[in-house]
A = this chain, B = another copy of it.
Amino acid sequence: MIVRKLLTDGIVRLTGSTATGGKPRQMLEINARARIGVGIQLAFEAITLVATDTSGGVIARHQIDGAALAPPEKVTRRIVQGYVDFVRGSGLDQTTIAGVAIVAPGPIDQKAGRILGPPTLQHWRDFPLREEIGSGVGVPLLVDNDAAAAGIGEFWSRGVSRHETFGSIYIGSGIGAGVVLDGALYRGASSNAAEIGHVTVVPGGRECFCGNFGCLERYAAPSAVLSEASANKRAFDDLDLTFEVERNARDFDVLGLAAINGHAAARTLIQRSAVYLAEGAVTLANLFDLDALILTGPGVAIAGSMYTRAIRTRLESQRFARSTHPISVELSANPRDAAAIGASSLVLQSTLSPGHGPVLHRSARDRG
């Protein structure tokens, strides 16, 4: 019965039959392209669209201008247009698209399908994101946290055992994390879990938008590292840094490249950021008692090895459960697209295994 349903839906197909003595057996294969998920990462610097199939492979990728400071209505129209261009340009079969997940930095209101305004996207706070995009793209939609999505994406793409307690730390404009338990993202009460960027690393330190002081992301995120660099511009005269907030991501790549090439001042800054991040990693590992930790996000695309080294060193000497089991610390294979790929995995997970992920919503206009 289950096989017949999968055959009807095209998820499984017959590829012939065998008869090695006894009753002939039907041969089946999974048709990975029968269901396609689309993930869209909404960020200040860029908006990334990817499509993945059920094997987890990326079958198309597209990037358009970031949200920057433009009004949400305008950015939304650009996203819808970008989606239409993406589907057409990649030759995707529209009938196979199971849905779209749009991911952004937290906090998010997943039930309402809104983002609640991280610092770079404050003006999006009351914007009905899911409804606006959903009615434009005409397929079911969900809104989720980018760092959490990256976590489930890394989990699937690595073929990790379901029984591993798997964590990932995401460095984008801020710092977030995702924890995967029994093959599903750990959600907590409101899908705002694993907020490692808001662990205090400097008590009474810099004020953070979250209401707390001295949060990890105010010391270790690319924007924090770059504002330290800008306070000592002469040390970075030889590097092509713009020090424009809108170009933080690009400047951080330049700084990271200099650091791994031995630029002393750049190394010092990145190293300091890595030591702070390692402190957050110890807390994440201790609270979830992790087996594995992946570093991902655009912030580790260039100098990621400096971060993994600092984290491994700290976990080896300071992790609470180090005498009972090891922990692996690895770098993502595709850190820049991790959140968009993870978003796409969320769509497929909520389609193929309902109840194990967030719910895809049809927009009111679409339903009507």
Contact of A287 among B109, B191, B282, B287 (CB under 8 A): B287
When the two chains form their complex, are residues B289 and A193 in contact, meaning their CB atoms are under 8 A apart?
yes
- In the bound complex, do residue A323 and residue B107 qualify as a contact, i.e. CB atoms below 8 Å apart? yes
Q: Which of B198, B284, B325 contacts A189 (CB 8 A)?
A: B325
A202 at the interface (CB under 8 A from B): yes
Of B187, B287, B325, B327, the contact of A194 (CB 8 Å cutoff): B287
Q: Residue of B at shortest CB range from A283?
A: B199
Determine if A211 is an interface residue (Cβ-Cβ < 8 Å). Answer: yes
Q: Known contacts A107-B323, A319-B211; decide if A290 and B192 are in contact (CB<8 Å).
A: no
Does A289 lie within 8 Å of B196, measured CB to CB? no
Number of identical protomers: 2
Query: What B residues does A323 contact at CB under 8 A?
Result: 107, 116
Query: With a CB–CB cut-off of 8 A, which chain B residues contact A279?
Result: 200, 203
Say yes or no: A290 contacts B189, CB within 8 Å. Answer: yes
A210 at the interface (CB under 8 A from B): yes
Q: Nearest Cβ in chain B — how far from A34, in angstroms?
A: 32
Residues of B within 8 A of A195 (CB): 286-287, 289, 320-321
Q: Please state if B200 and A289 are interface contacts (CB–CB under 8 Å).
A: no
CB-nearest residue of chain B relative to A187?
Answer: B289
A320 touches B283 (CB 8 A): no
Interface residue A324 (Cβ < 8 Å from any Cβ of B): yes
Which chain B residues border A212 with CB–CB below 8 Å? 282, 318, 320
Say whether A201 contacts B203, CB under 8 Å. yes
Verify if A322 is at the interface (C-beta below 8 Å from B). Answer: yes
Q: Is A349 located at the chain interface by the 8 A CB criterion?
A: no
- Is A317 interfacial (CB 8 A cutoff)? yes
| Complex contacts, A253 vs chain B, CB 8 Å | none
Q: Which residue of B lies closest to A112 (CB)?
A: B324
A192's contact among B107, B210, B283, B289, by CB below 8 Å, is which?
B289
A106: nearest residue on chain B (CB-CB)?
B320
Contact, CB under 8 Å: A189 / B291: yes
CB distance from A239 to the nearest CB of B (A): 29
Q: Does A165 contact B (CB under 8 A)?
A: yes
Chain B's closest residue to A317 (CB) is B211
Known: A165-B188, A287-B284, A325-B190. A202 touches B200 (CB 8 A): no
Verify B107–A324 contact, CB threshold 8 A.
yes
Q: Which of A101-150 contact B (CB under 8 A)?
A: 106-107, 109, 116
- Return A143 CB to nearest CB of chain B, in Å: 13
A289 CB contact (under 8 Å) in B190, B325, B327: B190
Q: Which residues of B contact A320 (CB under 8 A)?
A: 106-107, 192, 195, 198, 210, 212
Given contact pairs A196-B287, A199-B199, A190 touches B324 in the complex (Cβ within 8 A): yes
Known pairs A188-B288, A200-B201, A212-B318 / 19 extra A-B pairs, C-beta < 8 Å = A109-B324, A116-B324, A164-B189, A165-B189, A187-B289, A188-B321, A192-B289, A192-B324, A193-B288, A195-B286, A195-B287, A198-B320, A199-B287, A201-B203, A203-B203, A203-B279, A212-B320, A283-B283, A287-B288
7 A-B pairs with least C-beta separation: A188-B289, A193-B289, A192-B321, A212-B318, A190-B324, A195-B286, A189-B291
Could you list some 13 contacts between A and B, CB below 8 A? A116-B324, A164-B189, A188-B290, A189-B289, A189-B325, A190-B321, A190-B324, A193-B289, A195-B320, A199-B199, A199-B287, A212-B318, A283-B283
